[in-house]
Homo-oligomer: A and B are copies of this chain.
């Protein structure tokens, strides 16, 4: 039954079939996907996406970063288009939905409009951003970053993967280097549908959320230098043990984050003792700390407290400490009007409304710098992402597609 407002009808069977066919490219035995950017698998995914777009009567463009744009023309081609996008690349042994769900739901939206003979005043373009993940070429989200001027195209083309291959050469090799002239010009709005990648919607029994922004990130590389001694003949009170200092920092950062409300987080993901042998007090421990907050002031505060905590523990444990800030990403605030529109669209398709702040980076972060932007999150089963067991419920995918359809059409109708 067509949506009573849009007159178009999301075909969940078609959306599901597209997602599963896409997931077959680079499929892993355990049900996941390994489809690193600019590999043969990525080329196959792009070819498939391009074929579907051509079948749907869309016009394809390719920019100098390899980003694909598939345009469903509007009634007035002179107006700035509405962009719906995400990415088709994955992390190693990643999941079927992180990225493709956004691209293919965008495709389903225009397929539904075309089937219904509907066309917005403005064009709708489906975007597949190159290398969102940064799993093969660092940093992540380079294609949207180039669009907004955060990196130059030249910088990105010279990035190398772990085997020394260059981004630009691999773009040529798979036949997906396009033209800078094909980058979008003026953009009316950007919407990105994505799996939540966290457990909040599931725990609150909600299918969708309108995303208001993205947490700001401060990354520290912390080096603790104590005294390496044999584990046997070194009395506890005489030790200057870098591992004990690291242990206290891990626990202290967790307590610090717990002193803030959700979604403030602090994480230690990386830790390496040197020499790292069972019967030797380590001379050195190198560890990471990742703290996130949704406001500039909050991020500055928690990062300052984290640093003070680490320095205090180092003094107490009589170890030297070097704290290096290796990443400092300010919080992103999406366009309030678009967040409101997504929120209303969620309610319009009959789902309860919830706003939230994203914890991870997405191309929407950069796009927000040049056009009104917002994101729509779809519940992720068990909060699991970047892994082969990443899963969603198809009913949620349908609700997400219906929400995106309403919001996109509303934006496309704007004068």
Known: A236-B257, A267-B279, A268-B243. A231 touches B290 (CB 8 A): yes
CA distance A217 to B232 in the complex (A): 9
CB distance from A320 to the nearest CB of B (A): 16
CA distance A200 to B273 in the complex (A): 25
- Interface size bracket, A side: 35 or more
**Residue in contact with A268 in the complex, picked from B247, B361, B386, CB distance below 8 Å:** B247
CA distance A292 to B266 in the complex (A): 34
Q: Which residues of B contact A232 (CB under 8 A)?
A: 197-198, 215, 217, 265, 292, 358-361
Q: Which residues of B contact A148 (CB under 8 A)?
A: none
Which residue of B has the minimal Cβ distance to A195? Answer: B233
Which residue of B has the minimal Cβ distance to A361? Answer: B232
Q: Is A347 an interface residue (CB 8 A)?
A: no
Within 218-236 of A, Cβ neighbours of B (below 8 Å) are at: 219, 227-236
Q: Is A262 an interface residue (CB 8 A)?
A: yes
Known: A270-B273, A276-B270. A244 touches B251 (CB 8 A): yes
**Residue in contact with A230 in the complex, picked from B198, B227, B249, B276, CB distance below 8 Å:** B198
A281 contacts B258, C-beta separation under 8 Å = no
Q: Which residues of B contact A279 (CB under 8 A)?
A: 219, 267, 269, 290, 360
Which residue of B has the minimal Cβ distance to A317? Answer: B254
Chain A 269-281 near chain B by CB (<8 Å), digits 1 or 0: 1111100111111
Q: Is A25 an interface residue (CB 8 A)?
A: no
Known: A247-B246, A254-B244. A234 touches B281 (CB 8 A): no
Chain A 204-221 near chain B by CB (<8 Å), digits 1 or 0: 000000000001010100
A229 contacts B198, C-beta separation under 8 Å = yes
**Residue in contact with A233 in the complex, picked from B198, B264, B281, B290, CB distance below 8 Å:** B198
Q: Which residues of B contact A276 (CB under 8 A)?
A: 269-272
B273 contacts A199, C-beta separation under 8 Å = no
Within 347-364 of A, Cβ neighbours of B (below 8 Å) are at: 358-361
**Residue in contact with A250 in the complex, picked from B228, B230, B231, B243, CB distance below 8 Å:** B243
Within 287-345 of A, Cβ neighbours of B (below 8 Å) are at: 288, 290, 292
Q: Which residues of B contact A384 (CB under 8 A)?
A: 227, 229
CA distance A239 to B398 in the complex (A): 29
Which residue of B has the minimal Cβ distance to A196? Answer: B233
Q: Which residues of B contact A248 (CB under 8 A)?
A: 247, 250-251
Q: Which residues of B contact A163 (CB under 8 A)?
A: none
CA distance A384 to B234 in the complex (A): 10
List 7 tightest A-B contacts by C-beta distance, closest first: A232-B359, A247-B250, A198-B233, A233-B359, A231-B267, A232-B360, A278-B288
Q: 30 interchain pairs (CB within 8 A)?
A: A198-B229, A198-B232, A198-B234, A199-B235, A199-B238, A215-B232, A217-B232, A219-B279, A228-B386, A228-B387, A231-B269, A231-B359, A233-B263, A233-B383, A236-B254, A236-B258, A236-B265, A237-B258, A243-B267, A243-B269, A244-B250, A246-B250, A247-B247, A247-B250, A247-B251, A247-B268, A248-B250, A250-B250, A267-B279, A279-B290
